[in-house]
Amino acid sequence: MTEKRILPAFLLCFFLGIFGAHRFYVGKIGTGILQLVTLGGFFIWALIDFIMIIAGAFTDKEGKKITQWT
């Protein structure tokens, strides 16, 4: 299990998703920078991440699924 939680990732993605803030939170610095430069992959990438977070399929930098909300 990972120490990261869904709720902070969800809120960061919802409010700052186009800047990749949720990616920085889970430790994915490289893709966070790419999202920052491309404004969330022109909003599409941020939307896909948002859906993955809600579905429980989003992972941290080590590939562990983020499963707990709080």
Q: Give the model confidence (pLDDT) of 6-41 as tens digits.
A: 999 999 999 999 999 999 999 999 999 999 999 989
What is the per-residue burial (b if ≥16 Cβ within 10 Å, else e) of 38-50?
eebbeeebbeebb
First to last CA, the chain: 13
Q: Residue type at 68?
A: Q
**pLDDT in the model for residue 15:** 96
Short-list 17, 1, 18, CA closest to 53: 17
Higher per-residue pLDDT: 1 or 67: 67
Please report which confidence band the pLDDT of residue 70 belongs to, taking 50, 70 and 90 as the band edges.
Answer: confident
pTM, two decimal places: 0.91
Residue 55 and residue 70: Cα distance in Å, rounded? 15
Residue 43 and residue 62: Cα distance in Å, rounded? 25
